[in-house]
Each structure stands twice: as C-alpha cells, then as structure tokens.
Structure 1
Amino acid sequence: MNSVKALLYFSLFKYPLSAEEVYLFSAAHSQDEVNNELKYLEQKGVIFSDKNFYCIDNHTKTISRRIAGNNMAKAVMDKAIKKGVFISKFPFIKAVGISGSLSKNYHDKNSDVDFFVITTSKKLWIARTLLMLYKKIFLLNSRKFFCVNYFIAEDSLEITEKNIFTATELLTLIPVSGDFELFYSKNQWVSTFLPNMEIGKSPFYENSKKNWLAKMIESILNTRIGDLLDNIFLKLTVKKWNLKFNTLNKEDFEIAMKSTSGVSKHHPQNFQKRVIARLNQKYKEFYTRYNIELEEEHA
C-alpha cells in the first residue's frame, strides 16, 4: 500500500495530498496503481477526499488549511527568494536553497522561512557566524524570513542520515542561487526512498555577485588564518550548544546539533527523529485498526 505511506507521512504535518502528489511521494510503479489504491481505500472508509485532495481518516478540514497555506506560500515566495539571494552574497556562501514548509508550498502565520546553505570548504563556521551576527544585530534575532539552520560545506555534500525524512527534504528543496549539481549527484540515494521524484532542480539564479566587502573578507580570510578562525568559531559554537542543550543525550545531540568542519545543523527539537518516531507509531496504529502492515522507517 504505497499510497498509505505517503498519506500517513504528510498527515503528520496536516497536509492532504492530491493523487498526483501521492504518486510522487511514494514508491508506486504507476499513477494507475495509486489511483486504484486510493479508490479502494476510500471505499473502505480508510481515507477521505474533497476538492481533489486525500487525507487519512475524516480530517477533511485539513484540506481548507492546506489551500490557505498554499495561497500564503505563493504570496511570500518572492520575498523568500530575495532573502535567499541576499544570503548568497555573504562571504564564502556558494549556494542557497529554500527548505522546510515553504519548499512544500505551505506557509502560515506561524511559519519561518528556512534556508539550506552550501559554503566554501573550511569556511563554513565563518560564513555561519557572519550570518548569525547579521541576524542578531540587524534583524533583532528574528527568524521569520531568516531561519538559517542547516549548513554544509562543498567538500561534505553527501547527507549521511539517509531516511524518508531527509529524502523528502532534499527532493523538495528549492534552489535559489548557486550550483547544486554536485550536491544532487552526491545524493542519488534519495531514489531508493522516493523513486518517482525527479532529482535536481535549476536555481532561480546561477550565481549572485558579491559586493566589495564580501570579496575583501574572502580575500583576507581565504588563508591559514581563516582556517584557524573557522576552527575557533566551530569550537566556541559547540561549547555554547553543549551548555544550552544539555538535556539532549549524546546520540541525539550528534544528529540534531551536528557540528563538524563540513556540517552545521541547529535542530534542537530533533525534528527528524520525532517525525520518524511518530510515523512508525502511525504505522502501528494503522495496522491495529485496518490490519494493513507497513514496513517500519529507520532514522
């Protein structure tokens, strides 16, 4: 039941899917297979539909929520793209993409705009520190349109946590600026989870020209001194996070707050683990209720 898995996953976010989206976010072999499954499940009262969207149980009110969120996403997308281009002009930033709920065409009054950032090798923590300083000083630490919580360096492009959550996030990523070609080529593994989704999207802007200040900073710090400074920022940040998020156990910390020379994640709620755990719980509940067994997901 490939359709069920897709619907259960997005039910975690109260996000109904169209039949075409069910196919894209599943391992089904064809759209016809999905259409037949959806028809069967609806007849059995397992799923419900309205306005060409499908949802688990009779949670059709989430359909209106989705439509409103889609409309708001359209309204804020241009602003989000401009912010992404702005971020790409900072020193040592190689590429910027929109992630999170907006990358799935959803936004509401409580949503942040999340950005995924690729940096120059050995300069990730300088790039991150400069962006955080800008946010704290000029945006008064507002995250609304400046939530930059996932950085990877161009020598660490392969995502090591391979699961349905990371595959979905990667395939829905909206490239804004820079070259993502190598990033996509390093992460072909996503097709084992979602074979019907196309890997690789073209950015809105191939490259964003940096101003004289960014170029000057890059020139000064693209040296051994810059490498040392990057390592200092890494160590200071890890020390701060260890104190601030000391309730996380070591295993959770290393995933949610991953901090290496090539990766920086700031996900203190450990959303990835929580999503996988909740999804597996839904699988168990679904089996108990409908006697339909679904293979467990792994983080």
Structure 2
Amino acid sequence: MSYRLGKNILATVTYYDVLNMPLSAFEIWKHLITQEFEHPVGDTPCTLGDVARFLASGQLTQRINEQNGFYFLPGREALVAERIRAEKISAAKLKRMRRLARVLACVPYLRMLGATGSLAMKNGTRGSDWDMFVVLRSGKIWIGRTLLTGFLQCIGKRRHGKKVRDRACLNYFVTDDNLEIGIKDLFSAHEYRFFIPLVNFELFQIFELKNRWIREYHPNFALTMLPSLWTVESKRFARHIQQIGERIFDMFTVESWLASWQKEKIRRNPKTHMSGSMIEANDHALIFLPSPRGPRVFEQFKERLSA
C-alpha cells in the first residue's frame, strides 16, 4: 500500500506541477491520481491520514519539496507565492462570475451552468477568461446557444477576438440528456473533478453520477453532497422569466434552420480543420476546442514523471 501510495502521490504532484499548481496535503488526497493513468482500472481509495503520514515519513523528500504547507517538485518554490496570489485573483473573478450566473439563470433553455478551467482550480491570472460548461434543454441546443451567446454579446461579456479578460468562454455545450463526458482521459477527469456548479446544483449531482468513471483516474473521487459557495440559489423569479421566454421561443420553429446555419459556419471555420482539434457539432453536443490542452499536458506530465 505504501509503495503504491507513494507512486500515486508523486504522480499527483507531478501532474499539477505541469499546471503550475503546488498542492496542499488535503488537495493531494482529494485529487490523488492513480499510477495506472495510461490504462486506468481504478484504485483503492485512501484516507487523508494515509497521505499525511506518507508525506511526513520523508520517503519522497528527494522528489518532492514542501513550503508553507504546499508540495511541489524541486526547484519550483516560486509556485507557492504564485498560487497564493492566484487564489485571491480567482476568488474575485468567481464573485463576478457568480453575479453573472444569477442573470444567466433567466436565459431560456439553460439547464445548468458551471465553471471549469483555471478559475475552477482557483489558479487564474488577471488576464483569465471565464470558462463555462453549459447544459441546455434537450432538443434546443442550437437556439439555446444562440440566445446565450447573443445575450452575453449584448452585455459585453462574451469572449471573442482579443477581448478575453473577464469574459465568458463558451466552448462546451451539451444537452440535459447527454451529461456523460465523451472523452474519458486523465485531463478530462482532472477538469471535471474541479467543476464548480454555478446554476442548478441538482442537475450537477446527476452530472457527477453520469461521470463516475472519474474514479478510475482519481480513486478518492466522491459525489458532491453540498452546493459550492459559488452556486447560485434557485429563484422562483428567474425560473418564471425563463419559462416565459421558452414559451415564446417555442412558438418559432427555428431549431433546424439554426442547426444548418451554425453547422455550415463551423464547417467553414479554419480552426475546425486544424490538426488535433476537437470539434463536435450535433443535436446533443457543441464542443469547440481547436487546440485542446489535454494532450500537451499529458506529454509534459510523462516527461517530468520519468525525469
């Protein structure tokens, strides 16, 4: 157990080193990566005490350093101060993101909204955008995306061109009958392990149930029982406004037309055909990742782990 746990701890600290994120003992335990990350078969969960005792044993002192309660690879001490600074920046940005989420809860067909990426990790920078994971009503993904994107554009909160800082990055839409993530790899497991539900915590719990495969990479993965500090409370007024909007837009049969128009626009976009791009556009998922980060992170992770 101790040998295997040591390898898992080292893998975890190394992976998050690639993401420039030193970890506390609690975070190492919570986000522990199984050593069988290339062919995951799941691993036995361990306790926080197990991790704390192993770290205190000194068996990894040649591979892992500690400062102010954070663990990192040798020579990466500067990450500690950066992490503390990033926590403060991220908290301020998440407050603004939460205020925006209160308004977006009124948008027709929106069923769930979550924060992902560096902000969800509390590791953002001043120039960070707001990565959003969007769930829309089944059968309304095209009009739902149009309404949400259009609204954010009107209020100056949509990321586009060089306008990035503190703007919503809408690159992942799914419908509420398609909550299981298609790509099941270490990066996806990491990404959705940090997921912050902003709107509709109840649907987020179903999302976690659908994605229990995360446990194959993170053996200490457990379902979230309480809403996040950043989760917007469900308001009757917001739901009422949303229902009125949906009744109005349900009268217009534009879904198929919007689907054809947007698919053609996506097809003509040069980024769609970039090598390694991850683009999906159908009635259940709209995913726009022309340069997905996961493969690059994984290669750097393997290099540092074998160094």
Normalising by the residue count of structure 1, what TM-score does the alignment of the two structures yield?
A: 0.83
For these two proteins, the number of residue pairs brought into alignment is: 276
Task: Answer whether contact 1:83 1:145 (CA < 8 A) is retained.
Answer: no
Q: Residue 32 and residue 99 in structure 1: after superposition, are their counterparts in 2 closer, same or farther (change >3 A)?
A: same
Q: Is the 8 A contact 2:113 2:197 kept in 1?
A: yes
Give distance in 1, aligned partners of 2:303 and 2:146.
38
2:24 to 7, 18, 27: 18
1:33, CA displacement in angstroms?
Answer: 4.0
Shift of 1:3: 0.7
Cα deviation digits, residues 135-171 of structure 1 (max 9, x gap): 3333174442322221110111111211221112212
Give 1:212 shift.
6.9
> Mean Cα displacement is larger for which, 33-42 or 205-214?
205-214
For 1:221, give the aligned amino acid: F
Greater relative CO, 1 or 2 (CA 8 Å, sep 6+): 2
Query: Residue 5 of structure 1 corresponds to which residue in structure 2?
Result: 11
Q: Does 1:177 align with 2:199?
A: yes
**Residue of structure 1 in register with 2:274 after alignment:** 248
After superposition, give the CA deviation of every residue in 1:1-29 in whole Å (9 maximum; x if it has no partner).
00111111111211100111111111462
Counterpart of 1:210 (choices 238, 242, 246) is: 238
Question: Against the structure 1 CA distance between its residues 119 and 113, is the aligned structure 2 distance closer, same or farther, given a 3 Å change threshold?
Answer: same
* Cα distance per residue 1:210-237 (max 9 Å; x no partner): 37764343113336x54xx223323322
CA distance in 2, matches of 1:6, 1:211: 41
- Percent identity between matched residues is 22
- Equivalent residues in 2 for 1:271-282, closer than 5 Å: 271-282=293-304
Q: 1:120 Cα shift?
A: 0.5
1:245-299 per-residue CA deviation (whole Å, 9 max, x = no partner) reads: 15424xx44xx222121111222221233323332333xxx32x3xxxxxxxxxx
CA distance in 1, matches of 2:188, 2:147: 27
1:211 and 1:32, CA in 2 relative to 1: closer, same or farther beyond 3 A?
closer
- In 2: Cα distance, 1:150 partner to 1:114 partner: 9
Do residues 159 (structure 1) and 181 (structure 2) align?
Answer: yes
Give the Cα–Cα distance (whole angstroms) in 2 for the partners of residues 138 and 23 of structure 1.
41
The answer as to 2:66 corresponding to 1:40 is no
- Structure 1: stretches of 5+ with no match in the other structure: 290-299
Q: What's the counterpart of residue 171 of structure 2?
A: 149
Q: For 1:78, which of 88, 91, 95 is the aligned residue?
A: 95
* Corresponding residue to 2:114 among 97, 101, 124: 97
Does structure 2 retain, via aligned residues, the 8 Å contact 1:117–1:150? yes
C-alpha separation in 2, matches of 1:150 and 1:139: 20
Would you identify which runs of 4 or more consecutive aligned residues in structure 1 move more than 4 Å?
211-214
The one-letter code matched in structure 2 to 1:184 is E
**Which amino acid in 1 is paired with 2:21?**
Y
Question: How far, CA to CA, are the matches of 1:202 and 1:141 in structure 2?
Answer: 26
Deviations along 1:52-74, whole A, 9 cap, x unmatched?
11111211001110000011122
1:194 aligns with 2:222: no
Are the structure 2 counterparts of residues 65 and 184 from structure 1 closer, same or farther at C-alpha, using a change threshold of 3 Å?
A: same
Equivalent residue letter for 2:28: V
Q: 1:271 to 1:237 in 2, by over 3 A?
A: farther
Q: CA deviation at 1:107?
A: 2.3
Structure 1 match to 2:38: none
